[in-house]
Amino acid sequence: MAERFYKLLSEGNKEEWLKTFTAHHQSMADRYGSSPDMYWRAYERVKYTYRYIPGRDEIGDNRCRFWFQRIKPDGSETGMPLPITVIRDQDSGGEWRVDVATI
């Protein structure tokens, strides 16, 4: 789900990208200042892509954290590795969904 989140964001596929969020975040997606709103506006401003960094995963029964490297449009890396937290969302039938991400 974490890779799908960043892939859809990088493709500009907002409709499908929003489906990667928890039900709570999806319900707030159209609200200015919500997490999805802030993430999308940040993406539109900078157009970064993201590369998964294997070996740093923090895996739990109901929560996982994965790490990605931000890539500039010119292909160079920028900044420190970014975490994304995926949880088993009970409001989405226990499916894995993005709870917290860094753009």
Kindly state the tokens that stand for 56. 């740093």
How far is 48 from 42, CA to CA, in rounded Å? 9
Question: 64: domain CATH number?
Answer: 3.10.450.100
Domain count, the chain: 1
pLDDT at 103 over 80: no
Query: Helix (H, G, I), strand (E, B), or coil: what is residue 3?
Result: helix
Structure confidence by residue, pLDDT tens digits, 40-58: 998 899 889 999 999 999 9
**95 lies in which domain range?**
2-101
